[in-house]
Chains A and B, each alone.
Chain A
């Protein structure tokens, strides 16, 4: 019963996300509104972690499976993709590598810089 209860809460938040999607004219899906709502609900304590934890862990674990139907959809979109597939695949590979490298390097650089600043402040504080 516990899992059903947890699943019910998760579906309810998804439903609220769906309402926001219908109410706000932006190309933002119900799932992203739901993610934000769930985070806010957890932070404010409206939903307690133990009220969703097991079902959430299970759903995240089986998430890759949920992409199979869409990925198999390549079968249907292949005819429209065929004439431009070489530039498309090159662009996909190159930009994916670039985005991983840039995001990772930028974040790491900023973290290290911030840590260094903090250490220096501590050091200067110690001298005084």
Chain B
């Protein structure tokens, strides 16, 4: 039984999809933001692996075919963005200013809090790229001497958190412009947040997609400057 689960080419993918199905079902049934399908699915998968005593690497052997689609899917984010191109041109200055403010507030926020909690340089640079898309964040963390696995974990937690709370925070801060909402979600919580922005509307989704790329690139430029501060 155990070797079947370990060697299977489909086990990981099947429990991932089943877990996501459970997540969608719970969200539909109770309509609570806490019941985020990705969060529920991830917790279910972790629970199943612990219960069946299957190591993560064996699960990943077959689950990786799901992750394989991540690059093509990110490439596809250009499509909603293209459909909102007029809006992008019209608000170019506001968009550039908004994303820059967001990226700087992220880096500055991590710096001040790291100082407050007296983190080491290694821990600090591990957290520095937490708001941007996983692949860029991992690269920055590795280059600055951070711990890559923790960076990935923190980026994903940030994404899920943004996905769950963005709508509420926007309401609280009276952010009503769809363009502003989309950029806020994408800059703070990358692709995982963007899936929420897509639910809110076409403009929000397109702007969030744009923010993933622009915030990621800006962070590449600024992170090395901030890294020297601790």
Which residues of B lie under 8 Å from residue A105 when comparing CB positions?
173, 175, 180
Query: For the complex, is B6 an interface residue (Cβ under 8 Å from A)?
Result: no
A 83-125 binary contact with B (CB < 8 Å = 1; else 0)? 0100111111111111111111111101100100000000000
Cross-chain contact B49 with A72 (CB below 8 angstroms): yes
- Which A residues between 53 and 85 are near B, CB-CB below 8 angstroms? 53, 55-57, 59-78, 80-81, 84
When A38-B78, A72-B49, A107-B98 are in contact, do A96 and B162 touch as well, CB less than 8 Å?
Answer: yes
The main secondary structure of chain B at its interface with chain A is helix
Q: Number of residues in A with C-beta < 8 Å to the partner?
A: 76
When A72-B56, A92-B158, A99-B187 are in contact, do A39 and B20 touch as well, CB less than 8 Å?
Answer: no
Cross-chain contact A104 with B75 (CB below 8 angstroms): no
- Which B residues between 85 and 114 are near A, CB-CB below 8 angstroms? 85, 91, 93-95, 97-99, 101-102, 105-106, 109-110, 113-114
Cross-chain contact A74 with B97 (CB below 8 angstroms): no
Residue among A56, A90, A106 making CB contact with B76, cutoff 8 Å: A56
Query: What CA separation (Å) do A55 and B195 show in the bound complex?
Result: 16
Cross-chain contact A91 with B127 (CB below 8 angstroms): yes
The main secondary structure of chain A at its interface with chain B is helix
Residue among B73, B79, B173 making CB contact with A42, cutoff 8 Å: B79
When A34-B71, A52-B76, A100-B188 are in contact, do A72 and B82 touch as well, CB less than 8 Å?
Answer: no
Query: For the complex, is B125 an interface residue (Cβ under 8 Å from A)?
Result: no
Query: For the complex, is A28 an interface residue (Cβ under 8 Å from B)?
Result: yes
Cross-chain contact B42 with A91 (CB below 8 angstroms): no
Closest Cβ–Cβ distance, residue B60 to chain A (whole Å): 6
Query: What CA separation (Å) do A70 and B91 show in the bound complex?
Result: 35
Query: For the complex, is A10 an interface residue (Cβ under 8 Å from B)?
Result: yes
Query: For the complex, is A3 an interface residue (Cβ under 8 Å from B)?
Result: no
Closest Cβ–Cβ distance, residue A10 to chain B (whole Å): 5
Closest Cβ–Cβ distance, residue B66 to chain A (whole Å): 6
Cross-chain contact B105 with A76 (CB below 8 angstroms): no
Starting from the known contacts A67-B191, A90-B117, A110-B91, 7 additional A-B residue pairs (CB-CB under 8 Å) come to: A63-B195, A66-B66, A68-B16, A74-B157, A100-B170, A104-B169, A107-B95
Taking Cβ atoms with an 8 Å cutoff, the residues of B that contact A are 12, 16-17, 19-20, 37-39, 41-42, 45-46, 49-50, 56-57, 59-60, 63-64, 66-67, 69-83, 85, 91, 93-95, 97-99, 101-102, 105-106, 109-110, 113-114, 117, 119, 123, 127, 130-131, 133-136, 138-140, 142-143, 147, 149-150, 152-154, 156-162, 165-166, 169-170, 173, 175-177, 179-181, 183-185, 187-189, 191-192, 194-195, 198, 205, 209, 211-213, 216-217, 220
A selection of 27 A-B contacts at a CB cut-off of 8 Å is: A14-B75, A27-B136, A28-B139, A29-B71, A31-B71, A32-B216, A43-B82, A60-B198, A65-B66, A67-B156, A68-B20, A68-B45, A72-B42, A76-B56, A77-B153, A95-B113, A96-B131, A99-B105, A99-B131, A99-B187, A100-B166, A100-B185, A102-B101, A102-B102, A106-B98, A107-B101, A107-B183
